Amino acid sequence: MEAWSVNAILLAFGGGMFGASLGALWSFCLCGLLTMLGCLVVLGGGSDFLLLQVGLGPIFGPHTGGFVAGVVAATYAAALRKNHPSGAAKDILSPLVDTSWDVLVVGGLSAVFGLLIVPLLGRVPLIREFDLLALSICINIWLARLLFQKEMPWGNMDSIRQHGWLGTDGYAISWVGWMSPPSRLLAIGAGMGLLSGGVAMGFREYLAPLAAQGMVSESAAFVAPLIFCWGFSAVMLTMLNFGQATIQKAPVTHCMAIMGAWGYLQSGSLVVAMVFGIGGAFIEELTARMFYNHGSNHLDPPAAGIALSTFVMNILFKPEFLNLGGFFNF
């Protein structure tokens, strides 16, 4: 489906209003579930519609209704309409269905913006080496922060002066402080990198022959191994919505999952998958300190981490750049 088609725009708008009504985190969990189901359909030799047009596309992708619409709508509701359920734009758990109609419309419009900006970013040299869905999410939320809260991407200057730009006040202002200590990032990143790399290995071994025979699309055969554990990680965040206190302390691993899968797919090595999973863990913590901790709305650290990590991966492995993939024979 062409991003600039009338149908795609209408679908993104509808999905954005629905996603905003759910709230950003619930909509993201649903997006992850749809993406996982789409991968399983492809694994069975079926259509890629659910994967590429719903879970990762205009209908309910994370850059449209499946996440960013809820974040932008929450920012608008808290900063301008003053009707956010908790009053805090960083609260992405609360549904927004009982706010006002214009909050949901803002969600729909942000989803359309997220849809339309992706092909534009893809035309810019070097910029297209980022994960464009993740980058569009960051741009969308940065604009909402600027327009509705009058803050720059790095957040509130008073907080930065008090704690230091990369400071956390002993993890008191951290994005997910229970996961932020380096030893935990190392362990969780290694585990998710290996898990995601192993799933990518199995998916690719099964789907590559099907794609060669024309039984599944080449796009789906490429995306499904890369994205399955990202969807798995998104579904896992239901712990944040259902839990309270210590039960709510879920690991947030979708940046690690993407990078672990990328590491395996580029190298054919589970060790590389583990290393890139660890790298993903530290990069998303870095982006949290850069853009989330001092901000007044939810600038998603995993999205920023995925965008940056993918850029680094492409520079390292693509033939037109450093071509480190040439060192691996698989």
Give the pLDDT confidence score for residue 329 in this predicted structure. 57
pLDDT tens, residue by residue, 63-93: 999 999 999 999 999 999 999 999 999 999 9
Token duo for residue 143: 């604009």
Average the pLDDT over 102-127 and give the result: 98
pLDDT above 80 for 244: no
How many other CB atoms sit within 10 Å of the CB of residue 273?
30
Asked if 52 and 226 touch (Cβ cutoff 8 Å), the reply is no
Give the pLDDT confidence score for residue 202 in this predicted structure. 98
Asked if 12 and 58 touch (Cβ cutoff 8 Å), the reply is yes
- Could you give the percent of the chain with pLDDT greater than 90? 91
Which of 40, 37, 71 has its CA nearest to residue 54? Answer: 37
Give the pLDDT confidence score for residue 268 in this predicted structure. 94
Average the pLDDT over 151-157 and give the result: 94
Alpha-carbon distances, residue 175 vs 20, 89, 181, 297, 299 (angstroms): 22, 14, 12, 11, 10
